[in-house]
Structure 1
Amino acid sequence: MAELNSGDGGGKKKGHVRSKKQNAGVDLTAMVDLAFLLITFFMLTTSLSKPQSMNLAMPDKTKTDVPITLETADDKTVTLLLGEKNQILWYYGLPTAPIEGPEKVGYGKNGIRKVLLEKKELVKSKYAAYEAKKQEMIVLIKASKKSNYKNLVDVLDEMAITNVQIYAIVDITADENAMLEKEGLLTK
């Protein structure tokens, strides 16, 4: 680092005795080198966040306006209704005559995960005499207009955690909206 030394100017001043003040010069070269080494170290050792994605099979677009219906046994079907207060209303069977439910639960291992695992085992035990494909439980996921996207992603994560093979995201009906309103999970 270059320093500029200022002298006394070559002339003498009358009667004034001044002490020479030293310039406080700090050499920052070592600090800059250390900063660049630290930056390089942290850039090379930090792993960048990788985007997380899940595989979601979407149906092909059909050109016909005829809705496709699929008949399934009502004792193999669990329907999840996503409300607006981070709550899920589930029922087992048909909405007009449910076998079990509707019941309000939350997310996580003591909420919907526990319900899905119980119902999956129940369906397997009922259909134990059939082949493995016919033993699978079917889950219908129906999001209300006031539910948020995070809740839908959380339910899809629960499908992966509980290893539910057959599930579908379906439009919610007026009767199911009325169920959500009755339980206080949907406001008008």
Structure 2
Amino acid sequence: MALIMPADGPPTPVGDSKALTLLIHGNNSVSWYDGQGQDPQHPPVLYASSFSLNDGIGNVIRAKQQKVAQSAGDADALVVMIKAADSAPYRSVVDALDEMKINRVARYALVDITAEEMALLEEQEGISR
């Protein structure tokens, strides 16, 4: 898979309405939330999913693409942040990258998971760091 690296310089801000965050963790599991989760006044609501073909994270991505297309005029405005916990198997990270390709996500990034996101995962399923 070709990897395109961003140009050096300051980060480009992404509105929460155009962002989707995937949290990859143990047992081939993926959780997600809308936006980037950077507003402490409104912490993200975490949802569980899987890499299932029928009802997995691909459905979430396609629904978010439609929502972004309606609000921004272009599904390619969607930005997906992929964050892997230490417990995430390499295979799950590859599966997440495959979903980007399958669903033609134009903009995505592998990003470090935060302590706050690990706490959300621990609340959700008792995942250990």
TM-score, shorter chain, exceeding 0.5:
yes
Task: Give the alignment partner of residue 181 of structure 1, picking from 103, 107, 122.
Answer: 122
- TM-score, with normalisation over the residues of structure 1? 0.60
User: Hey, what does 2:51 align to over in structure 1?
Assistant: 107
- Displacement after TM superposition at 1:68 (Å): 3.9
Is residue 92–residue 98 contact of structure 1 (8 Å, CA) maintained in 2? no
User: Hey, what does 2:81 align to over in structure 1?
Assistant: 140
> Structure 1: which 5+ runs fail to align?
1-53
Question: How many residues align structurally?
Answer: 125
- Displacement after TM superposition at 1:98 (Å): 5.6
Task: State the percentage of identical aligned residues.
Answer: 34
SS in 2 for 1:183: helix
- TM-score, with normalisation over the residues of structure 2? 0.86
CA distance, structure 1, for counterparts of residue 126 and residue 3 of structure 2:
27
Deviation string 1:77-126 (CA, Å, 9 cap, x unpaired) is 00000011211110002324367x41000003311000000000000001
Is residue 50–residue 56 contact of structure 2 (8 Å, CA) maintained in 1? yes
For the structure 1 residues 140 and 185, does the alpha-carbon distance in structure 2 shift closer, same or farther, using more than 3 Å as the test?
A: farther
User: Hey, what does 2:97 align to over in structure 1?
Assistant: 156
Q: After alignment, is 176-185 or 157-166 more displaced?
A: 176-185
Name whichever structure is richer in strand by fraction. 2
Amino acid corresponding to residue 11 of structure 2 in structure 1 = T
Is residue 85–residue 185 contact of structure 1 (8 Å, CA) maintained in 2? no
Is residue 83–residue 113 contact of structure 2 (8 Å, CA) maintained in 1? yes
Amino acid corresponding to residue 123 of structure 2 in structure 1 = K
